[in-house]
């Protein structure tokens, strides 16, 4: 039985978009869709973006599995807002307004987001960008009422080796009453730089949206291009993409677990997990010529084959991880001072995680089970049985345990991928055609979705959705009721990308 | 369990790699560049403050690696500090994002003299792939030099930890070299 909102979407006029047909709704139907969404909570909002003429949204029906891109024309400079019924839309609507100038009519928040009043012009992605805005005012933060509250402002320059962001805490004594995050500091105008470039040239930007997920973003971008052009990457290329993606997942999880323990000043774990991360990066360098495997995945396939000795280097590195991981896990579990810091800290509920359709370890530590490798699924994973861990506590400890379980699973997948690596071509030639495509990949942090429209082989319009869009807002909720001193460990357990959402 | 690992480290030796030699030519080149007065007072240790001026966070991953037990930059007298007020060196990554330009300049002003600014990664050197974007300050040669004077540039996307380490150690050698020179 299709839900009420899905039925409205299916009424839209079909647009050629692969692999999931996009539908354009009239303004009335889009308004009806907004009204119907509360009655179908399982229809999750995955992404919201725009081009110069339309607003676009990507929904996934978590009951049926349907993936539904939907659009509506911009009328009177805007479109009916989704944020009143889908909270995850709030930041995305502010991003759309800052970049394209389209207003989310009836939206919950119309403050600027990426535009800090520093760009030479406003609405840089619009057909006619506006003149530079007024001189920047101090940003407006959400008011908080209550007695003897005080505000703590942190960043954008803060103590660690970390990306810049501003964290405005309102606290009562030590306990955080509200946290509001302000990002946008690493905005580089990536989407507009990608316009009118060939997919191969634009892929360098996708690979640099968030350096820690360079392989996953490159895969999603490549798959969106291949879908738009109705071509398939060769089997060997898909196998190598799987190898790189799982190396990236393991390396990031190792780094994160070490860093989370370090935020509880447990240096032993940082040293040992950091050692194994270094081993993984050296294996990646031996196999693919770059420690982070940047630019190794390209639209149409992969840039180069796995180097001689590369597979052996990878197998040796994961053997080292596998040998010490049980002992490190026991150490993690047996130090009561560490357990005291991670258990019960920064907890989020399943309902909240569901409202934002949070993916990755953030969602799976709170009871969700989604993984893009399973659904919608993409090569080389369909013939591999990917085991997805899930826990219910939703706290820092659960996010650590999900990572530890995913390291073990990715080691298993890597061995199969390396053993069954198909022979054959590394890439296909991309035809210079027009078309529209959506690509998806499971990054270490969660599901990544890219959409692009090609015009005679050049990028006409593009959007890249990092999983952090659905996770940052949950960090604001997770810290409530915790002490400010627990923010670093909470923040590290989320490890959201700043550059990934700053675009 | 922890002690078993510590004991093995005592018997088998640490996992830290031997330090690569510093090319003398690089040192002399840097000595010529550095302000003579600055060299005398800093001695063999340098406090580093990292600053992300718009990075994609790839460079940050390799700065984290510098602190791991294989590179262990602290054995060279190099250490990361929490505040620019305690720093001798500003290690800056990323193309100069306009949204962060003011914070970069204020951080530079907060760093006491003598100080060095190291532009790490192609983005910090000249804007990298983001050259020409409305969102970054590309004046002059671009990169962070559009906001603050740069003393040392480390190319790469991202530069590998070994390359970053050699560049920072060269800064120490140049500093000490200046005094004996
Ligand atoms: S140099 Fe490369 S890795 Fe470093 S911030 Fe720029 S794009 Fe990212």
The ipTM estimated for the assembled molecules is 0.96
Q: What angle do CA B154, B20, B127 make, to 5 degrees?
A: 10
Q: Is the pLDDT of residue B42 over 70?
A: no
What is the C-alpha to C-alpha distance for residues A221 and A215, in angstroms, rounded to an integer? 10
Instruction: Over range A142-161, report the average pLDDT.
Output: 89
Which of A440, A484, A495, A445 shows the shortest CA–CA distance to A467?
A: A445
What would the two tokens of residue A126 be? 């619009």
**Predicted local distance difference test score (pLDDT) of residue B170:** 86
Question: DSSP state, B16?
Answer: P
**Predicted local distance difference test score (pLDDT) of residue A23:** 98
Distance from CA of B123 to the nearest CA of A (A): 11
Residue A316 pLDDT level (bands cut at 50, 70, 90): very high
Query: Ligand 1 pocket test: which of B52, B53, B55 has the largest number of ligand atoms within 8 Å of its C-beta?
Result: B55
**Predicted local distance difference test score (pLDDT) of residue B27:** 63
Q: Is the pLDDT of residue A231 over 90?
A: yes
Distance from CA of A166 to the nearest CA of B (A): 11
| B residues 19..78 contacting A (CB < 8 A) | 50-65, 67-70
Instruction: Over range B52-79, report the average pLDDT.
Output: 95
**Predicted local distance difference test score (pLDDT) of residue A312:** 98
Helix (H, G, I), strand (E, B) or coil at B51: strand
Helix (H, G, I), strand (E, B) or coil at A194: helix
Between the alpha carbon of residue A129 and those of residues A73, A124, A186, A304, B137, the distances in Å are: 19, 5, 20, 40, 18
Which of A255, A267, A260, A320 shows the shortest CA–CA distance to A291?
A: A255
From ligand 1's centre to the CA of B50, what distance in Å?
A: 14
Helix (H, G, I), strand (E, B) or coil at B45: coil
Q: What is the mean pLDDT of chain A?
A: 96
Q: Is the pLDDT of residue A453 over 60?
A: yes
Q: Which residue of B has its CA nearest to A291?
A: B160
**Predicted local distance difference test score (pLDDT) of residue A172:** 92
**Predicted local distance difference test score (pLDDT) of residue B173:** 81
The kind and range of the H/E element at A104 are strand A103-105
Residue A132 pLDDT level (bands cut at 50, 70, 90): confident
**Predicted local distance difference test score (pLDDT) of residue A263:** 95
What would the two tokens of residue A303 be? 């840039």
Q: Is the pLDDT of residue A403 over 50?
A: yes
The kind and range of the H/E element at A492 are helix A487-494
What is the C-alpha to C-alpha distance for residues A153 and A170, in angstroms, rounded to an integer? 9
Please write the tens of the pLDDT for every residue from A200-221: 999 999 999 999 999 999 999 9
Q: Do A211 and B52 touch (CB under 8 A)?
A: no
**Predicted local distance difference test score (pLDDT) of residue B32:** 59
**Predicted local distance difference test score (pLDDT) of residue A313:** 98
Residue B178 pLDDT level (bands cut at 50, 70, 90): low
For ligand 1, atom 5, which residue shows the shortest CA distance? B55
Q: Do A211 and B83 touch (CB under 8 A)?
A: no
**What length is written for chain B?**
181
Please write the tens of the pLDDT for every residue from A97-114: 999 999 999 999 999 999
**Predicted local distance difference test score (pLDDT) of residue B17:** 87
Residue A239 pLDDT level (bands cut at 50, 70, 90): very high
Q: What is the mean pLDDT of chain B?
A: 88
Q: Is the pLDDT of residue B34 over 70?
A: no
**Predicted local distance difference test score (pLDDT) of residue B181:** 42
Disruptive mutation site among A125, A130, A157, A502 for chain B (greatest number of B CBs within 10 Å): A157
**Predicted local distance difference test score (pLDDT) of residue B28:** 67
Residue B29 pLDDT level (bands cut at 50, 70, 90): low
Distance from CA of B148 to the nearest CA of A (A): 16
**Predicted local distance difference test score (pLDDT) of residue A144:** 85
Q: Do B69 and A274 touch (CB under 8 A)?
A: yes
Instruction: Over range A350-367, report the average pLDDT.
Output: 98
Backbone angles phi, psi at A5, to 5 degrees: -70, -40
What would the two tokens of residue A64 be? 């049926």
Q: Residue A235, exposed/middle/buried by CB under 10 A (0-12, 13-18, 19+)?
A: middle
Q: Is the pLDDT of residue A306 over 70?
A: yes
Other beta carbons within 10 Å of B88: 24
Instruction: Over range A268-274, report the average pLDDT.
Output: 96
Q: Do B58 and A208 touch (CB under 8 A)?
A: yes
Beta carbon of A211 within 6 Å of any ligand 1 atom: yes
Residue B15 pLDDT level (bands cut at 50, 70, 90): confident
Please write the tens of the pLDDT for every residue from A465-478: 999 999 999 999 99
Residue B125 pLDDT level (bands cut at 50, 70, 90): very high
Residue B177 pLDDT level (bands cut at 50, 70, 90): low
Q: Given CB atoms, is B105 within the 8 Å cutoff of chain A?
A: no
Q: Are B115 and A203 in contact (CB under 8 A)?
A: no
**Predicted local distance difference test score (pLDDT) of residue B12:** 86
Q: What whole-number percentage of chain A has pLDDT above 90?
A: 95
**Predicted local distance difference test score (pLDDT) of residue B30:** 62
């Amino acid at each position: 039985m299709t839900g009420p909102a899905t039925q409205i979407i299916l009424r839209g006029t079909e647009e050629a978009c692969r692999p999931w047909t996009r539908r354009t709704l009239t303004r009335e139907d889009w308004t009806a869709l907004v009204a119907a969404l509360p009655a179908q909570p399982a229809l999750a909002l995955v992404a919201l973006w725009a081009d110069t003429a339309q607003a676009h949204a990507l929904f996934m029906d978590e009951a049926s599995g349907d993936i539904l891109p939907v659009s509506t024309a911009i009328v009177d400079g805007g479109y009916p807002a989704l944020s009143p019924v889908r909270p995850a839309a709030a930041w995305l609507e502010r991003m759309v307004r800052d970049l394209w100038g389209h207003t989310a009519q009836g939206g919950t928040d119309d403050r600027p987001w990426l535009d800090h009043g520093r760009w030479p012009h406003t609405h840089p992605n619009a057909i006619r960008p506006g003149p530079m805005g007024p001189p920047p005012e101090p940003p407006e933060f959400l008011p908080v009422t209550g007695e003897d509250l005080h505000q703590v402002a942190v960043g954008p320059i803060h103590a660690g080796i970390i990306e810049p962001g501003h964290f405005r805490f309102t606290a009562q004594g030590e306990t955080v009453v509200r946290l509001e995050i302000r990002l946008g500091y690493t905005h580089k105008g990536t989407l507009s730089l990608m316009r009118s470039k060939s997919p191969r040239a634009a892929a360098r930007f996708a690979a640099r949206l968030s350096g820690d997920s360079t392989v996953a973003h490159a895969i999603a971008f490549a798959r969106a291009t291949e879908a738009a052009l109705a071509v398939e990457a060769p089997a060997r290329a898909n196998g190598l993409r799987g190898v790189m993606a799982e190396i990236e997942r393991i390396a990031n999880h190792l780094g994160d677990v070490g860093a989370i323990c370090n935020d509880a000043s447990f240096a032993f774990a940082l040293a040992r997990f950091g050692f194994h991360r270094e081993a993984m990066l050296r294996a990646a360098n031996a196999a693919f010529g770059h420690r982070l495997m940047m630019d190794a995945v390209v639209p149409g396939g992969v840039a180069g084959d796995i180097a001689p000795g590369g597979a052996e280097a990878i197998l040796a590195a994961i053997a080292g991880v596998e040998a010490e991981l049980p002992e490190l896990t026991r150490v993690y579990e047996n130090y009561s001072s560490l357990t005291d810091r991670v258990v019960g800290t920064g907890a989020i509920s399943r309902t909240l995680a569901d409202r934002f359709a949070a993916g990755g370890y953030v969602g799976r530590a709170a009871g969700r089970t989604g993984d893009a490798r399973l659904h919608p699924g993409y090569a080389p994973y369909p013939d591999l049985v990917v085991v997805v861990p899930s826990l219910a506590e939703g706290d820092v400890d659960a996010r650590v345990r999900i990572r530890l379980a995913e390291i073990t699973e990715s080691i298993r997948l890597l061995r199969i991928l390396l053993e069954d690596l198909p022979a054959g071509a590394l890439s296909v030639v991309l035809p210079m055609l027009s078309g529209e495509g959506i690509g998806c990949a499971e990054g270490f942090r969660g599901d990544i979705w890219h959409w692009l429209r090609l015009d005679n082989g050049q990028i006409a319009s593009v959007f890249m959705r990092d999983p952090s869009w659905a996770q940052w807002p949950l960090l604001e909720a997770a810290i409530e009721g915790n002490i400010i001193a627990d923010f670093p460990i909470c923040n590290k357990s989320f490890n959201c990308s700043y550059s990934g959402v700053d675009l | 369990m922890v002690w078993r690992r510590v004991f093995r480290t005592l018997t088998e030796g640490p996992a830290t790699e031997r330090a690569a030699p510093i090319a003398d030519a690089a040192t002399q080149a840097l000595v010529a560049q550095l302000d003579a007065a600055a060299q005398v007072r800093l001695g063999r240790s340098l406090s580093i403050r990292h600053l992300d001026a718009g990075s994609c966070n790839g460079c940050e991953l390799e700065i984290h690696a510098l602190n791991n037990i294989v590179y262990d930059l602290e054995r060279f007298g190099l250490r990361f500090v929490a505040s620019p007020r305690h720093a001798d060196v500003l290690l800056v990554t990323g193309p100069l994002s306009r949204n962060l330009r003011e914070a970069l300049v204020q951080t530079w002003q907060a760093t006491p003299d003598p100080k060095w600014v190291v532009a790490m990664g192609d983005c910090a050197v000249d804007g990298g792939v983001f050259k020409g974007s409305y969102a970054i300050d590309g004046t002059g040669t671009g990169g962070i030099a559009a906001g603050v004077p740069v003393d040392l540039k480390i190319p790469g996307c991202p530069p590998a930890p070994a390359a970053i380490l050699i560049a920072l150690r060269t800064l120490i050698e140049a500093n000490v070299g200046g005094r004996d020179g």
